[in-house]
Amino acid sequence: MTRDHKSGTSRRLMLAGGLGAMGAGLVAQVGVAQQPTKLAQSVVMYQDHPKGDQKCSICAHFLPPNACQIVAGDISPNGWCGVFTAKQT
């Protein structure tokens, strides 16, 4: 192992530290890039009232108190949209 005579630090150790920092940066960027894009309310025919007995609060995609895994924006628990999927009981 070659050592820097002035600091006593090996080149291999310095290289490993630099590669580790680069890898952490790439992981952070990939995590951001893989976040799903939510659909616009207009695309899924969102309405702020139920459709029959179907409503957001009993949908598998609903995230209380007022969000959805698939649809962007504020979502009413009493709303409905075309991607409604009843929760499995």
Nearest to 84 by CA among 50, 57, 47, 59: 59
Q: What average pLDDT does range 39-65 have in this prediction?
A: 98
78 in Cβ contact with 56 (< 8 Å): yes
Q: Is the pTM value of this prediction over 0.95?
A: no
* Residues 67 and 81 both lie in one domain: yes
* Residues 45 and 29 both lie in one domain: no
* Residues 60 and 74 both lie in one domain: yes
The rounded distance, in Å, linking the Cα atoms of 73 and 86 is 20
pLDDT(86) > 90: yes
Identify the domain containing residue 7 by its residue range.
Answer: 1-35
